Amino acid sequence: MKKFSVAFLLLCLSGTVTSQTFEDTFEKYSSNFISERIHFHFDKTSYAVGDTIWFKAYLMKGISPEVESKTLYVDWSDANGKLIKRTSWPILEGATFGQLAIPLDFNSNAIEVKAYTKWMLNFDSSFLYNKYINILSTATAKSEVKIIPQLHLFAEGGNLIEGLNTKIAFKATDQFGRPIEVSGDVMEDGKKVSQVTSVHDGMGAFYVQPQPGKKYSLRWKGPAGETHETKFPEVEKSGLLLRVTGTKENRVFFVQASGTDVAKSVRIIGTMFNQPVFNIQRDLTDGITQGSIPVNELPSGILTITVLNENYQPLAERITFVNNNEYSFTPQFEVEYWGMNKRARNEVIIEIPQHFEANLSISVTDAEIDFNDDNTIISELLLSSELKGKIHNPAFYFRNKEDSTANFLDLVMLTNGWRKISWTDIAAGKLPEIKFPLENEYNTVHGRIHGAMPNQLANAGSLIMIVNQKDEKEFIAAPIKPDGSFRAEDFILMDTATVYYQLPKDRIPPTSIVQFLGSQVPIAPGSNLPPAVPQPADTTGASRHLQFADEIAGLLKLEKAKVLETVTITAKTKPELEKMDEKYTTGMFSGGTATSFDLVNEKSASAYKDIFSYLQGRVAGVVITMTDPPTVTWRGGTPAFFLDEMPVDVQLLTTVPVTNIAYVKVINPPFLGAAGGGTNGAIAIYTRRGDDEKAAAPGVGLPKNTVIGYTMIRKFFSPDYLLGGDEDSRDVRTTLYWNPEVVMKDGQNRVKLTFYNNDISESFRIVIEGMTKSGQMAHVVKIME
């Protein structure tokens, strides 16, 4: 995490040097125990059965994108907490994306999304990403539930002390966490002393100066006019009061102690994202100290102000939001080609400022379906991900710069829990226990070899593997370490795969056992959310959305029972070798002068030990000597070797069964695709694919194992009606376009995106979210009509 530019605060405001133990432990804590925060951009606000939920997740640590954690875990459950699916996704430079297909038989009014990294499980589970996604249906649209109002009181700084005039904030909600407006009376020993009213989203505040021996409560009326009574927090006979006020540029603190044994001096520490931003030591004069802290050079976010006594024990704590408006950037949006008619083409231009590098996601939906913009990437990563409990409409606090909005945001600060540092542990030199180390490597094929001596393992070389995934094969070599462990670096394992492997010949005993290890998926704690909100009475947007979603679901059910007819296309036949070259080769490997071999249609090829014994004597000028490994020369030098156009060595090629090879291309020198200009030519080997009629099982004859990788990422289907379309079927897609992979760099700050209308939309809603490499965020909503 970048260091905050507040060194001047530390120099100007610090008093005497803190205890070395406290200072050292706090430094280790703030450097090594920063948790991550997550935001999801979904293509739509709500879904229906049969829909696919498309998402992109953005992760931050401190004030920058998270670049260390490599795996995001996402648990999908119904509204009752029953797990639907557990998924995992690779994180690249602070972002990942994926999807979930909602089953046609799904029967719940919501899907709960819980997302986390392993590192996040070391900290308070209240800060894991948690969200309900509404699932529309005719059954839930008519639900009516009795509202149960509730109200909570919060003393500023955490303490209510006899004789000290203290600010008390309150928050009134229903059982689903939605705000309700209330009014009431402050009661002292059953007598009214003042009147209060909520001023924004069920929140408000008032002052009270508790008197010895008195009992206090708030008597209030709910939305139906019913009377409730909430007792005040416990009144303490002695303690410390912390009051924080201020302007955009400063925060003014006022500290007052009551009681002679509370503290004679205090240390006031400010932290943001668990990082220290100021450290002040003050003596209490007549029990009081106060001061002003400049905040205009701090990053935007929640500033936690903690007051400690001489023994570094916490006495009071308060959070306040710093908004310096440096956190955002605005991608420019321009429509280059309008197409509002049925299945018409649209082209839009997205542009970011020069010298920016940004990672964006873009959704285009029907503008008339339901839409909720209450929580954006900005409000999530700066506000709601840092607080406990449900924040209603957090995006509201970032839509303008009015003083009233800042005052309302301060009520949010007063009425919600926050990330807390255990100052008692810090003072004792104790750091948090780490049960889940930071997962800084991608999920790949890895494991351990048992049954070999250390001296055999030390010079064993590599474990040769064929990873077979849904007719796609990858040949990889994993170096074997002296302890027997192996790991396929630079390979990300997706989905379920069958791994065929071969131990190094004459180096490791053939009786050795190869154990493949899977990624240990952690079990996240239960939900932090209040119950899922029942669907409200029908709205125009939800009704339109549900109408078309039902039509799509009907088509999907019909598709499951539909028998496809066979279509035969007659075309001019190309020579087999030409077809093989077009099928397998790309770039510099395609065409050119070469001697090629089709092993799919050559039955006798399977009789050869390896590809070199097959090629021996078949290509003029190529001399192959069958040693171990074979030596190959052409024009006095060694040609380059490629397996599926990846450079390999001779040893690896000898492990590939001939029955698994489809095509061989011996390319005449010079071959520019090889290092050094390929002055001795190249031999390119291509393995069989699933559609090769005579393909043999990959790795036939080799031991195998099944491994599980990341959840497979699907590509969003966006039709291209320039190529035609089925006029007999209706296109009622409500998501017209979804692209989570818009990466823009310096010099490439402008991108054109094309999408096609459906048969029913007359206007589009475009939502753009994203983040720069420096942590600035974007949220843009545009309507095309």
SS3 label, residue 548: helix
pLDDT at 702: 77
Tokens of 93: 């430079």
Integer CA distances (angstroms), 273 to 19, 335, 419, in order: 23, 39, 9
Tokens of 200: 């924004």
- Convert the pLDDT of each residue in 455-491 to its tens digit: 899 888 999 898 988 767 888 999 999 999 999 988 9
Q: Longest Cα pair distance anywhere in the chain, in angstroms?
A: 108
pLDDT tens digit string along 320-345?
999 999 999 999 999 999 888 999 99
Distance of CA 155 to the CA centre of its chain: 35
Report helix, strand or coil for 13. helix
**Can the peptide bond before residue 223 be classed as cis, meaning omega within 30 degrees of 0?**
no
Nearest CA to 377 out of 2, 73, 42, 751 is that of 42
Strand-strand pairing, 332-337 and 646-647: unpaired
What integer pLDDT is reported at residue 314 of this predicted model? 95
pLDDT for res 2: 37
User: CA gyration radius for the chain?
Assistant: 33
pLDDT band at 688 (very low <50, low <70, confident <90, very high): confident
CA distances from 345 to 30, 334, 335, 366, 467 (A): 52, 15, 11, 15, 41
Query: How much is the pLDDT for 701?
Result: 62
Q: How far apart are CA 480 and CA 618, in angstroms?
A: 36
CA dihedral for 221, 222, 226, 228, sign (positive or negative): negative
Say yes or no to pLDDT of 761 above 50: yes
Contact 738, 716 (CB under 8 A): yes
Residue 186 has pLDDT above 90, yes or no: yes
User: Taking residues 36-58, what's their average pLDDT?
Assistant: 96
H or E stretch at 139: none
Q: pTM for this one?
A: 0.82
| Beta carbons of 79 and 45 less than 8 angstroms apart | no
**Amino acid identity at 774:** S
Residue 297 in this model has a pLDDT that exceeds 90 = yes
How many residues are recorded in the chain?
Answer: 785
Check pLDDT > 50 for residue 4.
Answer: no
Pairing mode of beta strands 250-258, 239-246:
antiparallel
Give the Cα separation of 725 and 306 in Å (integer): 64
CA–CA dist 293, 681 (Å, integer): 70
pLDDT at 143 over 90: no
Rounded average pLDDT over 399-421: 94
pLDDT score for 725 = 67
Lowest average pLDDT, out of 580-594, 699-713, 749-763, goes to 699-713
User: What is the residue type of 645?
Assistant: E
* Nearest-5° Cα angle at 246, 243 to 247: 170
- The 3-class SS string of 287-318 reads CEEEEEEECCCCCCEEEEEEEECCCCCEEEEE
Q: How many CB atoms lie within 10 A of CB 571?
A: 5
Task: Take residue 75 and report the two structure tokens written for it.
Answer: 């648990």
**Average of pLDDT values for 50-59?**
96
Residue 523's pLDDT is what? 73
> For residue 292, what pLDDT is reported?
95
Asked if pLDDT for residue 511 goes beyond 90, the answer is no
Of 287, 646, 202, give the one whose Cα is nearest residue 467: 646
Separation of alpha carbons 597 and 602, rounded Å: 9
- Give the separation between CA 386 and CA 302, rounded to whole angstroms: 8
Range with the poorest average pLDDT among 69-78, 243-252, 387-396, 571-580: 571-580
pLDDT of residue 1: 35
pLDDT of residue 15: 40
- Say if residue 634's pLDDT is above 60: yes
**pLDDT per residue as tens digits for the range 266-285:** 999 999 999 999 999 999 99
Give the model's confidence band at 113: pLDDT under 50 very low, under 70 low, under 90 confident, else very high: very high
pLDDT of amino acid 722: 82
CA distance 415 to 408: 11
- 572-579: Cβ within 8 A, 24+ apart: 576/601
Read off the tokens for 455.
């001296």
Q: Taking residues 548-568, report their average pLDDT.
A: 54
Amino acid at 337: Y
Cα 322 to Cα 127, 160, 246, 410, distances in angstroms: 20, 26, 10, 10
- CB contact at 8 A, 53 and 297: no
What's the whole-number mean pLDDT along residues 741-769? 93
